[in-house]
């Protein structure tokens, strides 16, 4: 809630001072940080990934002080391999990333957390390059250097950034077309919360969905980032009825945010609840879940209704890849025949911003409208919580266990010493907790197997009994036949 509650102007003033402070920080300040001797200096821009500061063939045009290139270092979150929350580690990268024509270097203030990052950690998101790699699709910060031919951005500009990956770092290099100027009064937290969720919700609702007054819509995970963005955007159209699924504890907040009918999907059948209120069905279903929920969504559509599938959150079960959940979601994945669409007058759409990263023009158009709505006060990202880079595991856990209401943000501001000590204690406890959970799971599994074995044994015994009986029965039957 920090970003929303703080007075915006004061916050911005503080934040503007920070880039200078941060430049003087060394990685040694952070005991949790893994300081690798010579990590490859990577940048968010894949083209720039191969270019190191030492590479004489590609001089960095914006690097004014040559010696700085050697001493330049920055912290970065790195996915070291697929798996649990601990696979994302905080590391220090050395060497100033080279800037190519049309690129800018951004000193990052805040980063946004998305479902795709959780999928990526488990190896379920093919748009993230193979580990080791920095995740992160959105951030906000201040331009620190501009490459050749960059005329629309200057050093000191406050921007929000949208990129395929690589933005969970203190310093990122991206094409200028991937940056958008922050409007007056927007906090860095809001700026980091905005791109992925609002562009996703906007393009789904207004391009694929063609949302109009008096229509009805189902928003799953209505307390999540896209859910809240979609609800706010629905409110920009007159008399739209929003059905929103979320656990009961979140209903008050999402109702205030614009959800007409909150539904607790844990205790209620949402299809039944919707049919009670809208017997004819819905105009739009936004489906981030996949699997059997896509079928339900399709069957809820009115004539001219649109189902928009934008994820497979049902694949996520537990912190590590759950092959059963993946297989089940995949197996139940929806497929449709055009003749069925024709007879129902229906539309099925698929959306994922991660596969749209080369469509700068489309994204810029959507962003322009979104910024305008922000300036008019019609939308405002809701920040759930802000974590330090060191706490990325906790941040991911909060999102995956669906405790958040709104956006989860990572801040590049380093933790204070006392916070770190507390964090270390908590970490120990959590690890113990996780171990206990794992042990319990293993024990349960053993018990289950033991039970199964018992049952098998019993079955065998029963069958043996039956077999024993059978010859007698056969004899009787034989007798009958003889008679």
Q: Which is nearer to its own copies, 69 or 287 (CB)?
A: 287
Residues 298, 284: Cα–Cα separation, whole Å: 9
Binding residue for its own copies, selected from 29, 249, 355, 428, defined by CB under 8 A: 355
Per DSSP, the three-state class of 136 is coil
Near its own copies by CB under 8 A: residue from 91, 294, 319, 391: 294
**Bridge-partner residues for 138, per DSSP?**
162
Interface of this chain with its own copies, residues 169 to 208, rule: CB under 8 A:
203, 206-208
Three-point CA angle 212, 217, 223, nearest 5°: 120
Q: Is the dihedral angle over the CA atoms 132, 135, 141, 146 positive or is it negative?
A: positive
Please give the Cα distance from 92 to 88 (Å, whole number). 13
Single out the residue of 8, 133, 317, 349 in contact with its own copies (rule: CB under 8 A). Answer: 349
Contact code string over 304-343 relative to its own copies, x by CB under 8 A? x-x--xxxx--------------------xxxxxxxxxxx
Cross-strand bridge partners of residue 90: 77
- Supply 184's token pair: 């007056």
Among 350, 416, 417, 422, binds its own copies (CB under 8 A): 350
Question: From the CB of 358, what's the least distance to its own copies, in Å?
Answer: 8
- CB 232 → its own copies: shortest distance, Å? 21
Give the nearest distance from C-beta 174 to its own copies in angstroms: 20
Q: Following DSSP, what letter does each residue of 300-333 receive, concatenated?
A: TEEEEEEEEE---GGG--SSS--HHHHHHHHHT-
Determine phi and psi for 181, rounding to 5 degrees: -65, 135
Q: Considering the complex, state which of residue 143 and residue 284 has its C-beta at the smaller distance from its own copies.
A: 284
| Shortest CB 406 distance to its own copies, Å | 24
Q: Return the number of the residue (26 or 345) whose C-beta is nearest its own copies.
A: 345
Query: Smallest Cα–Cα separation from 380: which of 219, 206, 236, 210?
Result: 236
- Nearer Cβ to its own copies (208/243): 208
Q: Which residues pair with 37 in a beta bridge?
A: none
Phi, psi of 307 (to 5 degrees): -100, 125
Which listed residue (198, 351, 374, 387) binds its own copies by CB under 8 A?
351
Beta pairing class for 216-219 and 282-287: parallel
Q: In this complex, which beta carbon is closest to its own copies, that of residue 78 or of residue 211?
A: 211
Contact with its own copies (CB under 8 A): which of 346, 380, 397, 398? 346
Applying CB under 8 A, does 344 fall inside the site for its own copies? yes
Minimum CB distance to its own copies smaller for 346 or for 380: 346
- Contact region for its own copies (CB under 8 A) — 175-183, 191-199, 317-325, 349-357? 349-357
Report in angstroms how near the CB of residue 165 gets to its own copies at its nearest: 16
Which one of the spans 29-37, 54-62, 246-254, 348-356 is the region binding its own copies (CB under 8 A)? 348-356
Footprint on residues 228-287 left by its own copies (CB under 8 A): none
Which range of residues in 29-37, 70-78, 298-306, 440-448 is near its own copies by CB under 8 A?
A: 298-306
Residues recorded for the chain = 483
Q: Is 306 exposed, middle or buried (0-12, 13-18, 19+ CB in 10 A)?
A: buried
Tell me the closest approach of the beta carbon of residue 139 to its own copies, in angstroms: 23
**Of the residues 244, 262, 290, 393, which one makes contact with its own copies according to CB under 8 A:** 290
Question: Alpha carbon of 462 to those of 467, 468, 472, 473: distances in Å?
Answer: 9, 10, 16, 16
Beta carbon nearer to its own copies, 111 or 234: 234
**What's the min distance (Å) between Cβ of 356 and its own copies?**
5
Q: Which residues lie across from 53 on neighbouring strands?
A: none
Q: Between 198 and 310, whose beta carbon lies closer to its own copies? A: 310
CB of 314 to its own copies, least distance (A): 12
DSSP 8-state assignment for residue 456: H
| Residue 483 interacting with its own copies (CB under 8 A) | no
166: left (phi over 0), alpha (psi -120 to 50) or beta: left
Q: Tell me the C-alpha distance between 405 and 410, whole Å.
A: 15
Total residues at interface with its own copies (CB under 8 A): 38
Contact call for residues 293 and 314 (beta carbons, < 8 A): yes
Minimum Å distance from CB 474 to its own copies? Answer: 49
Coil vs helix vs strand at 434: helix
Q: Which of 68, 155, 303, 447 binds its own copies (CB under 8 A)?
A: 303
Residue 275 beta carbon to its own copies: minimum distance, rounded to whole angstroms: 18
- If DSSP codes are grouped into helix, strand and coil, which group holds residue 397? helix
Q: Does 129 bind its own copies (CB under 8 A)?
A: no
What whole-number distance in Å separates Cα of residue 330 and Cα of residue 324?
A: 10
* CB nearer its own copies, residue 224 or residue 297: 297
Rounded Cα–Cα distance for residues 209 and 307 (Å): 8
Handedness of CA 279, 280, 285, 291 (dihedral sign): positive
Interface residues toward its own copies, by CB under 8 A? 203, 206-208, 210, 290, 294, 303-304, 306, 309-312, 333-352, 355-356, 359, 362
């Amino acid at each position: 809630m920090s970003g929303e509650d703080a007075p915006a102007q004061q916050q911005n003033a503080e934040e503007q001072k920070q880039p200078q402070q941060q430049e003087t920080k060394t990685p040694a300040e952070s005991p949790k940080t893994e300081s690798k001797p010579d990590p490859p200096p990577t940048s968010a821009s894949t083209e720039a990934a191969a270019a190191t500061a030492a590479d004489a063939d590609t001089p960095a045009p914006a690097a004014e002080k040559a010696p700085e290139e050697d001493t330049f270092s920055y912290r970065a979150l790195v996915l070291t391999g697929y798996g649990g929350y601990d696979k994302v580690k905080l590391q220090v990268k050395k060497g100033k990333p080279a800037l190519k024509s049309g690129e800018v270097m951004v000193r990052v203030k805040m980063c946004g957390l998305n479902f795709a990052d959780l999928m990526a950690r488990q190896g379920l998101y093919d748009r993230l390059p193979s580990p080791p790699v920095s995740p992160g699709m959105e951030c906000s910060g201040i331009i620190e250097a501009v490459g050749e031919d960059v005329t629309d951005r200057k050093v000191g500009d406050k921007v929000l950034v949208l990129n395929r990956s690589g933005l969970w770092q203190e310093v990122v290099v991206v094409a200028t077309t991937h940056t958008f100027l922050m409007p007056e009064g927007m906090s860095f937290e809001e700026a980091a919360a905005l791109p992925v969720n609002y562009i996703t919700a906007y393009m789904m609702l207004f391009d694929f969905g063609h949302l109009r007054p008096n229509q009805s819509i189902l928003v799953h995970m209505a307390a999540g980032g896209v859910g809240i963005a979609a609800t706010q955007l629905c409110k920009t159209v007159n008399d739209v009825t929003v059905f929103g699924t979320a656990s009961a504890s979140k209903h008050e907040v999402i109702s205030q945010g614009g959800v007409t009918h909150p539904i607790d999907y844990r205790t209620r059948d949402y299809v039944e609840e919707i049919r009670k209120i809208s017997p004819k069905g819905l105009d739009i279903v936004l489906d981030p879940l996949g699997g059997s929920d896509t079928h339900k969504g399709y069957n809820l559509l009115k004539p001219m209704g649109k189902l928009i599938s934008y994820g497979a959150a049902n694949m996520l079960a537990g912190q590590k890849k759950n092959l059963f959940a993946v297989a089940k979601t995949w197996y139940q994945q929806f497929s449709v025949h055009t003749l069925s669409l024709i007879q129902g007058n229906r539309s099925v759409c698929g959306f994922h911003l991660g596969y749209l990263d080369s469509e700068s023009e489309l994204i810029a158009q959507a962003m322009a409208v979104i910024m305008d709505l922000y300036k008019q006060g019609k939308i405002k990202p809701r920040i759930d919580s802000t974590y330090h880079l060191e706490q990325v595991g906790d941040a991911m856990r909060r999102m995956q266990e669906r405790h958040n209401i709104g956006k989860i943000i990572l801040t590049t501001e380093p933790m204070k010493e006392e916070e770190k000590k507390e964090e270390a204690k908590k970490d120990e406890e959590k690890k113990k907790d996780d171990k206990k959970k794992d042990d319990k799971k293993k024990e349960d599994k053993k018990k289950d197997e033991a039970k199964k074995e018992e049952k098998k044994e019993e079955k065998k015994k029963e069958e043996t009994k039956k077999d024993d009986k059978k010859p007698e029965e056969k004899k009787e039957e034989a007798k009958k036949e003889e008679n």
